[in-house]
């Protein structure tokens, strides 16, 4: 038996990166876990211009200047370090519109490479400080996980799946999701935020116990 784990996330959300790292750690320690994972789109900035914007301008608008941004990101840096992640905020030049990155995650899912796509996008943005709103960067990422970059670049020039991604994002908001990451277990239990590996180990343990009980 398997249990669906739906994850609503945005590849420029640092808490999503931290949350995935915690979940991965728990899953690695319980290799026979029952989860089948699917990633779903949620844009932190759905109104972001299509070409993205200068990161400094973005931070000024969102947090009222550098000091506000530093205060807002201090807990992120602390939790990232605890998770063993080194987020390269200093090198980031642009804040992208992530709609095309979500399209790539969707297409990767069709090829059974969704986890790899999410990992590669997080790494490109948070470690390499690349602009994941740029088609060439997304083509490189596709190539790095064994997708056909030429096909991806061709698709990115079309409107394919843009409306679908926006509709799915909008549907999640209507259902009450207002922050990410949000994890939905077995289509009924919502687990918000970047939860520690211990919590996931407990959740997985309880699910496996219930499954064994129902088998008996």
User: What value, to the nearest 5°, has the Cα angle with vertex 52 and ends 178 and 55?
Assistant: 85
Q: What does DSSP assign to residue 75?
A: H
Cβ proximity of 194 and 19 under 8 Å? yes
- What is the pLDDT confidence band of residue 215, given thresholds at 50, 70 and 90? low
Percent of the chain topping pLDDT 90: 93
pLDDT in tens, 38-96: 999 999 999 999 999 999 999 989 999 878 988 999 999 999 999 999 999 999 999 99
Structure tokens at 44: 């932190």
E strands along 76-213, which residues? Answer: 94-95, 182-185, 189-192
Q: Which domain holds residue 145?
A: 3-215
Radius of gyration over every alpha carbon of the chain, rounded to an integer in angstroms: 18
Among 174, 117, 171, residue whose Cα is nearest residue 143: 117
pTM score over 0.85: yes
What pLDDT, on the 0 to 100 scale, is given for residue 188? 92
Q: At 57, which CATH number?
A: 3.40.30.10
**Across the strands, what pairs with 8?**
40, 182
What pLDDT, on the 0 to 100 scale, is given for residue 70? 87
Number of domains in the chain: 1
Whether the pLDDT of residue 216 is over 60: the answer is no
Whether residue 181 is preceded by a cis peptide bond, meaning omega within 30 degrees of 0, is yes
Structure tokens at 105: 């995650």
Percent of the chain topping pLDDT 70: 99
Helix (H, G, I), strand (E, B) or coil at 148: coil
CA distance 49 to 62: 15
pLDDT in tens, 136-166: 999 999 999 999 999 999 999 999 999 999 9
Structure tokens at 154: 């061709």
- What is the pLDDT confidence band of residue 24, given thresholds at 50, 70 and 90? very high
Helix (H, G, I), strand (E, B) or coil at 60: helix
What pLDDT, on the 0 to 100 scale, is given for residue 162? 97
């Amino acid at each position: 038996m398997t249990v669906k784990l739906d994850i609503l996330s945005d590849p420029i959300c640092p808490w999503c990166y931290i949350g995935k790292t915690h979940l991965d750690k728990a899953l690695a320690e319980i290799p026979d876990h029952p989860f089948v994972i699917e990633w779903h789109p949620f844009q932190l900035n759905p109104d972001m211009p299509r070409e993205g914007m200068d990161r400094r301008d973005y931070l000024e608008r969102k947090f009222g200047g550098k000091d506000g941004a530093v205060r807002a990101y201090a807990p992120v840096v602390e939790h990232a370090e605890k998770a063993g992640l080194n987020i390269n905020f200093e090198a980031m030049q642009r804040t992208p519109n992530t709609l095309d990155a979500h399209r790539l995650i969707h297409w990767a899912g069709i090829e059974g490479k969704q986890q790899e796509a999410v990992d590669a996008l997080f790494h490109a943005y948070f470690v390499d400080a690349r602009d994941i709103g740029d088609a060439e960067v997304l083509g490189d990422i596709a190539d790095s996980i064994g997708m056909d970059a030429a096909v991806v670049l061709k698709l990115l020039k079309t409107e394919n799946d843009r409306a679908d991604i926006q509709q799915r994002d909008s549907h999640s908001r209507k259902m009450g999701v207002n922050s990410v990451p949000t994890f939905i277990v077995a289509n009924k239990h919502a687990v918000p935020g970047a939860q520690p590996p211990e919590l996931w180990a407990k959740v997985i343990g309880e699910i496996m116990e219930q499954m064994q009980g129902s088998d008996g």
